[in-house]
Amino acid sequence: MPPAILNQILDQLKTLEPSELQQLSQAIQHYLADQETAAQRVAFHQALVESGLVRQIKTPTFEQRTHQHLIQVQDGSVSQTIIEERR
């Protein structure tokens, strides 16, 4: 971060109320905790790869699943209906 931007932020801190400073402090602590957790996760994954326990680290995809339709149960139990649907 360029020194000019940091100086602007520090100057703006002087105008904040104590409650706003507290909120800012909490937000910064939360941000730093997230950064530390991410760094630990990366180091752990790197150690797994280097040790040969895993070949690669896959990241989960957060794509929305397709809509699943409900089956109609007529007579009998749900498990029996599922078995019949699979045939």
Distances (CA, A) of 47 to 41, 43, 81: 10, 6, 48
Q: What gap in Å lies between CA 26 and CA 17, rounded to an integer?
A: 14
The pLDDT score that the predictor gives to residue 83 is: 82
Other C-beta atoms lying within 10 Å of the C-beta of residue 33: 10
pLDDT by residue, tens only, the chain of 87 residues:
788 899 999 999 999 999 999 999 999 999 999 999 999 999 999 999 999 999 999 887 777 777 777 767 777 788 877 787 787
The pLDDT score that the predictor gives to residue 80 is: 79
Q: What gap in Å lies between CA 77 and CA 66, rounded to an integer?
A: 26
The pLDDT score that the predictor gives to residue 23 is: 94
